[in-house]
Amino acid sequence: MEWMIDTANLNAIKEAVDMLPLSGITTNPSILKAELPFDYETQLKAIRALTPGLTMHVQLGSEDCEGMLEEAAYLQNLLGQDIYVKVPTTEAGVKAMRRLKDRGVNVTATAIYYPLQAMLAVSAGADYLAPYCNRMEQNEIDFGKAIEQIRDMIDLGGYEAKILGASFKNAGQVVRAIDSGAHAVTVQPAMLRSVLKSALVTDAVAAFTKDYALVTGK
Ligand code: G3P
């Protein structure tokens, strides 16, 4: 299973890379907006520099296929050929995914709310599929069931695409996505840390620390 972080905050990235067993980092324009002011290229390059060895998933802002292809080439030139270009799973996006895969570009299909979007993206050659779990839940779409259906389609068809659960607002959603068959999840680092430092955990550890001092005499 793969863990990724969904942030463009440089301090959060530094801490998370040091602490967590990560395989990648994901951003989108709204996540980047939270870090303004910055120079776009400088910020993306700084993220890349902080995440050696991790996959970097950068979202396109263009709305039409030709614009997406040009922007993908620009991002590869800026950040390296090995980045994953996040393509919204729209009509133009599915068209662009096919062309990007013909050129050997890594593709992450994003803004997925419906299993059918994911199935089209898999057929277009996408490497990762990002269902928006919290947003689906807010719109009364059962994201767990959707992930199960997408996973069945991938496994039955023998595809190599991976489900990358995204848009999480609580730890329960993350666990459900994994339990439903997601190969990977992208999560805000603060959410993972909030579980690791919850009162139940820290109280238990404090009691062990106290007893350790007693039994060792230290
Ligand atoms: O990676 C993008 C996805 O996580 C969107 O999240 O919080 O805007 O629903 P959110």
Q: Does 6 sit in the ligand 1 pocket, CB within 6 Å? A: yes
User: What integer pLDDT is reported at residue 198 of this predicted model?
Assistant: 96
Q: End-to-end CA distance of the chain: give it in Å, rounded.
A: 39
Q: Hey, which of 132, 143, 173, 188 would you mutate to test ligand 1's pocket, going by the most ligand atoms within 8 Å of its Cβ?
A: 132
User: What integer pLDDT is reported at residue 23 of this predicted model?
Assistant: 98
Active-site residue, 86 included: yes
Q: What's the whole-model pTM score?
A: 0.96
Nearest to 7 by CA among 190, 196, 193, 194: 190
Q: What is the 3-state secondary structure (H, E, C) of 87-155?
A: EECCHHHHHHHHHHHHCCCEEEEEEECCHHHHHHHHHCCCCEEEEEHHHHHHCCCCHHHHHHHHHHHHH
Q: Identify the burial level of 141 via C-beta atoms within 10 angstroms of its C-beta, where 0-12 means exposed, 13-18 middle and 19 or more buried.
A: middle
- Within the chain, which residues score under 50 in pLDDT? none
* Closest atom, ligand 1, to C-alpha of 135: 9
Please give the domain boundaries of the chain with CATH numbers for all domains.
2-216 (3.20.20.70)
User: What integer pLDDT is reported at residue 69 of this predicted model?
Assistant: 98
User: What integer pLDDT is reported at residue 218 of this predicted model?
Assistant: 84
Count of all residues that appear for the chain in the document: 218
What is the sign, positive or negative, of the torsion defined by CA atoms of 59, 61, 67, 71?
Answer: negative
User: What integer pLDDT is reported at residue 187 of this predicted model?
Assistant: 98
* CA-closest residue to ligand 1 atom 3: 167
Q: What is the pLDDT of residues 34-46, one digit of tens each?
A: 999 999 999 999 9
Distances (CA, A) of 85 to 13, 48, 192: 19, 14, 25
* CA-closest residue to ligand 1 atom 5: 167
* Closest atom, ligand 1, to C-alpha of 134: 9
How far apart are the C-alpha atoms of 211 and 200, rounded to whole Å? 17
User: What integer pLDDT is reported at residue 22 of this predicted model?
Assistant: 98
